Amino acid sequence: MPRLPLYALGLLLCLPCFAQERALPQPRSGFEFLGTDVKAMQQDDFSNPGMFWVERGAKLWSEPAGGAGRSCQSCHGAAANSMKGVAARYPSIDAKTGRLMTLEQRILNCRTEGQQVSPPAYESEALLSLATYVAHQSRGMPIAVSIDGPARAHFESGRKLFFTRFGQMNLSCAQCHDQNWNRRLFAGPVTQGQPNGYPGYRLEWQTLGSLERRLRACLSGIRADMFRYGAPEHADLELYLAWRARGLTIEVPGVRR
């Protein structure tokens, strides 16, 4: 893996960023950039700390809740059957509202409308556990989002965000994850920024977090204002990232540094 000095990386990141795709030679999961110790942690369900959230999600799936007294299972049945492949298709357009929803937003919608309970907060244990449990049912399946019909406008918005410079450092997602991936920044490699391991456990956080949290961390890192949790910009960007990662398989719960 070529090593790039910090001053040289800074010069490269200041180069003009053209608002068009630079086709990646092949999508590569963040897993491929991990050391052998962290790879082993993700691959072993007994060592993967994200499996605690899967277990909590399984319990929440079968627990009745709210005024309706219904559980997720009472509507959807066994998650291993009904949720298989679902996460691979998100974000997706809600047929009733025409709104683009992430997997977490779909779960929040089900909790409020189907179970009639107060929605859990973003990054709460309840929401992360349910999202991780549902996404885990698609582990090993290729990402296959749709960008047709009403989703197209959201896809174009997400693509624009990916190539837009933000913050005091005046950087875009593309400058790091398209133009400089496989180089090194400080002690770690620059990855392609693929979303297929989220919700995932980050050693840096010492906990599990959503893809939205990771996107907000990137914005914070370049000293930019962060979009609020649940903002449509996040859903649009997640759709573009999922399209960009098409063919990669779901790894939830991923483990990342």
pTM score above 0.75: yes
> For the ranges 16-30, 53-67, 116-130, which has the lowest average pLDDT?
16-30
Distance of CA 234 to the CA centre of its chain: 10
Question: pLDDT category, 158, cuts 50, 70, 90?
Answer: very high
Residues 165 and 38 grouped into a single domain: yes
**Of the ranges 10-24, 57-71, 211-225, 238-252, which one carries the lowest mean pLDDT score?**
10-24
Residues with active-site annotation: 218
Instruction: Give the residue carrying structure tokens 């009733």.
Output: 96
Number of Cα atoms under 13 Å in the Cβ half of residue 88: 17
Tally of residues, the chain: 257
- On whether residue 129 sits in a domain, the answer given is yes
**Residue 125 carries which side chain, given as an amino acid letter?**
E
Place of tokens 């180089």: 183
One domain, residues 165 and 227: yes
Residue 233 domain boundaries = 27-44+149-256
**Number of domains into which the chain is organized:** 2
Q: Tell whether 187 and 124 lie within a shared domain.
A: no
201 and 103 together in one domain: no
CA–CA separation, 102 and 213 (whole Å): 13
Whether residue 174 is found in the same domain as residue 112? no
> With 70 as the cut, is the pLDDT of residue 8 above it?
no
Domain match, 155 and 176 both: yes
> Do 249 and 203 sit in the same domain of this protein?
yes
